[in-house]
A and B are shown apart, each in its own frame.
Chain A
Amino acid sequence: MSTQERKKSAFSLTVMRIKAEPFLYLAPFALGILVFTLYPIINVFLMSFKENFNYITKEFSGWGLGNYQYILKDPYFIQAFKNTFFYVFIVIPISTCLSVVIATLLNQKIKFSGLFQTAYFLPMVTSTIAVGLAWKFMFNYRSGVINYLLNCFGFESLNWLQVTTYNFPALCIYGIWAILPFTIILLLSGLQNIDPMYYTAAKVDGAGPIKSFFRITIPLLMPTIFLVLIINTISTFKVFNELFPLFNGPGVSNNLFTVVYYIYYQFRVKMPSKYGYAAAAAVVLFLVIFVFTMIQRWIEKKTKD
């Protein structure tokens, strides 16, 4: 090999090293995702098409859509789907609107704003079990503060936790409350990114607080609101944990199935476990969330132009 050739090959080796370096740094993380995220997802997807799959022996009777056919006819799955949809469509708008208002108020230079901020973020650092217990007390038919408030405004007490009709509203109230702190934190950071000079300009232009809220704050906060909407829609579609503090399960008489609870039910509660049904339900949920996220991003793009 001539010196020139050697030089050239050495050169291309360094180039390769430079090109490979970033991938080297990414490798551990990529490996983690591959093993702990991608592999299970593919596995679930495959499992949903395996009929009569046995998780232990890995045996199955054949490929097909049997699992999907079963769950789409299963009254529990249909109930779970309805509940989840209603939950998302009630919790998301109410929690988002509430959070925008509360975050805007917290962002004002008011007295005790530090105190209020702490009060709103406390739920994030408190144990879910303890908080759930507290909510159980608050929803109590006889001694709960929520019924007390209802009575104050002239309404009758509701048996939130024991009567099936009121289970769902109770779940929604608890769900809205649970999602607020995180949403408010994100919105607050969005609000703090709005240059105060726009408010001064609007004030000089004659806009009062309400006008400048709707014409300045909301439009300039829109990117953060969309972010919050997407994150929260995904997480509320997966409603599951919220069932346990109040009801220890899907309502008082299996009336509060959600899609994730249905997956859990097929997988863990039912004997023998039906892994295929669980996997099919998971894939359906994934598709629904995917479609919703795409729709939201499409709307976001549209409103931007």
Chain B
Amino acid sequence: MKITIQHLTKRFGATTAVNDFSAEIQSGELIALLGPSGCGKSTMLNMISGILPVTEGKIFFDEEDVTDLSPEKRGIGLVFQNYALYPHMTVLENIAFPLEIKKVKRAEREAKAKEMAKLVHVDMLLDRKPKQLSGGQQQRVAIARALIKNPRVLLLDEPLSNLDARLRIEMREEIRRIQTETKVTTIFVTHDQEEAMSISDHIVLMKDGFLQQVAQPQQLYDEPVNCFVADFLGNPPINKTHGVIQNGQLVLDGGCCVTLDKAAICKEGQKVTLSMRAEAITVDENEKNAKGIIEETYVMGKEVLAYVLLGDYKVRAYIPAEKEFTKGQKVNIGLKKRGVFLFDDETGERLA
């Protein structure tokens, strides 16, 4: 089912948690709703689920306007951050609860619940209480409970944040598997860019209640629309430097001169941000875009991470392990086409 969000706004008194948000989510996709803490992701999700009323704007499920529909009428499945499994019910009763409310006969709903339990691999734990389950198992039960009504959308609010690192990777693959098997349109809230990159079909990136960009993970990484998107994605973080366009060249703070084709489209004297991914920087190879000074090198297995001084800025670059550099050595810095971006300093908008 397709979800269309039009000019959605949510205000809590003076704070605007979600601001004029419009997006389209295609049927059957797994969408990551990504952004830093407090940017309005949960608010967004709660408006889609119907738990929170909207201040302005509309939400459509396919062609149906669901803006004023209460949660139980929307046909959604919701997984809470801390699962919210009913502590007094067994796993089976928890999973079957939505059907119990719908007055489905006992035998029928238990059969369906067992089927769901099998899908999420908790079919051997049916008689346990939530307290007797590990975090990952509780998570699976919560997903089964959300899926038993055959929801049109599955909504998950930071489903992995309560799990330890190993389990987090396992569970995100499980969520992907379950989503692929059921083909249910899924929105997955997270503040972890790696998590979002690894499992989603599309990422919806937001900041301070504003939509930043909707794109496929790789596209978001390769073609960020603004400085924030470029900053938010990638590990190690992107190298960010500031400078001014002079004589068609970019002069970084501290006087380092960078030759860039991309600088041609900028106005003379414009203040810009040059952001470079670590893997887009080469040291002492064919291209010569700038001169830098080796500050420090760290051997990290097959690669060497080098800190290079470019004007006032210290940037990270990966260099092949066989090359040897000494501290203070002057080197030629090359910049690849991919992974190097120019942004307007004031607006943060992408220039090239």
Contact = CB atoms under 8 A, between A and B. Distances in A.
Interface of A: 195, 197-198, 200-207, 211, 215-216, 219-220, 222
Nearest to A194: B87
B102 A198 contact: no
Interface in B285-335: none
B101 interface: yes
B101 A204 contact: no
Nearest to B101: A206
B52 to A, nearest CB: 10
26 contacts: A195-B84, A197-B80, A198-B84, A198-B86, A200-B51, A200-B80, A201-B78, A201-B84, A201-B86, A202-B97, A203-B51, A204-B71, A204-B72, A204-B76, A204-B78, A205-B72, A205-B97, A205-B101, A206-B72, A206-B98, A206-B101, A215-B97, A216-B86, A220-B87, A220-B88, A222-B88
Given A201-B84, A205-B97, 11 more contacts: A197-B84, A200-B51, A203-B70, A204-B49, A204-B76, A204-B78, A205-B145, A206-B102, A207-B101, A215-B100, A222-B88
Contacts of B51: 200, 203-204
Contacts of B71: 203-204
B212 interface: no
Interface in B27-76: 49, 51, 70-72, 76
A124 B88 CA distance: 33
4 tightest Cβ-Cβ pairs between the two chains A and B = A206-B72, A201-B84, A219-B88, A205-B98
Contacts of A222: 88
A222 B89 CA distance: 13
B16 interface: no
A195 B88 CA distance: 13
Contacts of B100: 215
Q: On chain B, which size bracket covers the interface? A: 20 to 34
Nearest to A195: B84
Contacts of A219: 86, 88
Nearest to B70: A203
B6 interface: no
Nearest to A199: B84
A201 B49 CA distance: 11
Contact of A197 (B49, B82, B149): B82
A204 B51 CA distance: 8
Nearest to B145: A205
Contacts of B149: 206
Residue among A197, A206, A207 facing the most chain B CB atoms (10 A cut-off): A206
Contacts of A201: 78, 80, 84, 86
Interface string B100-118: 1110000000000000000
Contacts of A220: 87-88
Contact of B72 (A198, A203, A215, A216): A203
A94 B78 CA distance: 39
Contacts of A206: 72, 98, 101-102, 149
Contacts of B98: 205-206
Contacts of B97: 202, 205, 215
Contacts of B70: 203
Contact of B101 (A195, A197, A211): A211
A197 B84 CA distance: 6
B173 to A, nearest CB: 25
Contacts of A207: 72, 101
Contacts of A204: 49, 51, 71-72, 76, 78
Residue among A198, A202, A205, A211 facing the most chain B CB atoms (10 A cut-off): A205
A216 B97 CA distance: 11
A197 B80 CA distance: 8
Contacts of B87: 220
Residue among A195, A197, A201, A222 facing the most chain B CB atoms (10 A cut-off): A201
A254 B120 CA distance: 69
A30 to B, nearest CB: 36
A87 B240 CA distance: 80
Contacts of A216: 86
Nearest to B85: A201
A200 B88 contact: no
A197 to B, nearest CB: 5
Nearest to B151: A204
A179 to B, nearest CB: 27
Contacts of B76: 204
Contacts of A195: 84
Nearest to B73: A206
B162 to A, nearest CB: 13
Contacts of B102: 206
Residue among B82, B87, B88, B100 facing the most chain A CB atoms (10 A cut-off): B88
B79 to A, nearest CB: 10
